[in-house]
Amino acid sequence: MTGEVPITVTGGAGGVAASYDDLATLGLLYGLLGGELIEAAWRDSLEAADGDLVLSAVLSPTTFAEAEAEILAATYGPHGLVSRAVLVEAQSFAFAAVVDLYRAADALQRAAYESLSYGLGLSLGLQVVPLTLTSGLALLVVRQADPVLAAGLDHDVVAFLEAHPEVVQTLANGAGGLLDGLGSLPVSGTLLRALGVEGPHLSTGSAAADLGELLFGDRAGVAVPVHHEHPYAAPVRLEDLVGDLAATAEGGDGAITVQRLVGADGDDRWVVHLPGTDTFADDGRVRDMGSNLELMAGDDTAYGQGIEQAMGAAGVGPADPVLMVGHSQGGMQAAALAGDPDFPYRVTHLVTAGAPVATSDLPDHVSALSLENSADLVPALDGEPNRDRASHTTVRADLRTGSLGAGGGNHGLALYAAVAGAADASEDPSVRAAISGMRDAGFWGATATQTFAFRIDVAVEPGRSNIGGYPRVIDNAA
C-alpha cells in the first residue's frame, strides 16, 4: 500500500510561502547590490579628480578631457553605475511590494473566510432550536419505521462528509458564531449567561475556551513510570515513527513513550510519541474532550504537564534536539508544546498525524510535517487548513474507509502509516526537504536507543509531581 497511496503536498521548502520568502530575499539582495553600485560610482568619480590625471591636462588637454568624459559617463551617465543602481533599487522595491501585495491578499482572503464562517455559525445558532427539533423528530420516525432506510441515510451522511470535509471545517470555524447565535435566543441565551458564557466569540478558540471552562474543570497531570516490554528500534523513515506511535497507543489510556537516540557523534536526540484522545468525557483521564478544548483555546493541559515531567524523568536535556510525534490530540499537544516559549525543552522537529494544528503558533525554527487524510474530519476541527509556510509541510491523502470513528477508519493510525509510507517514497521537494532535515539532525539511524514508558494521569494533588524516580530503561542496539 505504501507506493499506491496518491498524495498532495502544500507548504514546506517548495511551497508558496517559501517562494514569497525567496522573492523577499531576492529583493533584499537587489537593494544591497544597488547600494554597492552607488558606492562604486562615488569611488570611480573620485578618479576624475586624481592628482596625476589633473596634472596631465597641461601636457595633453585633449586626452585629459576624453578621460574625464569617460569617467563621468561610466559613473553618472545614462548607462553608468548610478543609473544602473537606481534601476536595481527600483527592482528591489518592486520585489518587496509584490511580496507585500501577495501576503496582504492572502490575509484578506483569510479574513473574509473567517467572517463568512462566523456569519454562517451565527445564522445556524439562531435556528438551532427549530432545526434540532424538526430534524431530530424526523430521524426518530425514520429509525422506528424503516431501519433499512435509516442505515442507508447513515451511509449517505458518512459518504457526504468523506467527500466534503470542508463542510465540517467551515462549521468548526463558525463555532464562535454558533455560540453567539445561541446566546441571542431568549431561553438558551439566559441559560448561557447564567453559566458565565458570554460573547462575542469571534474565533473557534474563544468558543472552545468558554466551553472548556464550563464543561471541564482545571486539572493537573502527573507522569507515572511504567514497564515497557518492547523497545523501539532507531527510526530510519516516517513510517517507523507512525508505527512506534501506534505501538505506544496500545499501552492504554495516558500512555506515552520517550525514546533516546544516541548518534555516531555520541550526542543524544529524543523522540516523544504522543497518542490521541482516550475518552470524550472523563475528568479522571488527561486525554479527553476537555483537553481538546483547552488546546483549541491555547491553554495549558494536564496532558502537557505530564509530558514535561516525563521528559525530565527520562533525562532529556534542555539543549537536546527533540522530535515530537503525535496523533490527533497528541499532535495538537505536541504543536502546543513546541510553540510554548516557557517549555523547557528544545523541540526542533514535529510530525503530526490526523491532528488539527492549523491554528497552532509554531515558531519558524520548528520543522513541522503534518500527515492528513481528506476523509478524516478531525484535522478539520480547528476550522481552517494548514497555512502555507516554509517550515510546515502538509502531506494529504484521500483514503475513504466509510468510517468516521475517532479510533479507526479514516482517522486510524493504520491508515496514517500508509500515508507516512507514501511520503517516504515521495520525490516532492518539500517532503524530501522535511525528511532530510530529520536525517541531518540525527533522528535517523542512531547507533543505540533506550525506550522510556510513562502513563500520564490526573494528579491527586494538582500542581504536585508524584514521580518517585526514573522509569525502567530498556537498552537495545539500533
In this structure, of 3-12, 252-261, 271-280, the range with the lowest mean pLDDT score is: 3-12
Question: How many of the other CB atoms lie within 10 Å of CB of 125?
Answer: 23
Beta carbons of 349 and 441 less than 8 angstroms apart:
yes
Q: What is the mean pLDDT of residues 121-145?
A: 56
In this structure, of 75-79, 169-173, 335-339, 407-411, the range with the lowest mean pLDDT score is: 75-79
Mean pLDDT of the chain: 76
Q: What confidence score (pLDDT) does residue 462 get?
A: 45
Q: What confidence score (pLDDT) does residue 46 get?
A: 44
Q: What confidence score (pLDDT) does residue 284 get?
A: 77
Higher pLDDT, 306 or 108: 306
> What would the pLDDT profile of 24-71 be if each residue is shown by its tens digit?
565 565 555 555 655 655 554 444 444 454 455 455 566 655 655 565
Expressed in percent and rounded to 5, the helix, strand and coil fractions of the chain are 55, 15, 30
d(CA 50, CA 28): 34
Confidence of residue 387 (pLDDT cuts 50, 70, 90): confident
Determine the residue type at 79: H
Nearest to 272 by CA among 217, 311, 226: 311
With a CB cutoff of 8 Å and minimum separation 6, the contacts of 408 are 414
* Residue 352, beta-bridge partner list: 326, 370
Burial readout 207-246 (b: 16 or more C-beta within 10 A, e: otherwise) = bbbbbbbeebeebbbbbbbbebeebbbbbebbbbbbbbbb
Q: What is the mean pLDDT of residues 328-333?
A: 96
Alpha helix positions (H), 328-381: 329-338
> What would the pLDDT profile of 142-159 be if each residue is shown by its tens digit?
455 656 554 554 555 666
> What would the pLDDT profile of 178-236 be if each residue is shown by its tens digit?
667 767 777 666 766 766 677 777 677 777 676 666 666 678 899 999 988 788 999 99
Confidence of residue 477 (pLDDT cuts 50, 70, 90): very low
pTM strictly above 0.75: no
C-alpha distances (whole Å) from 131 to each of 123, 126, 127, 183, 352 are 11, 10, 6, 16, 36
Confidence of residue 476 (pLDDT cuts 50, 70, 90): very low
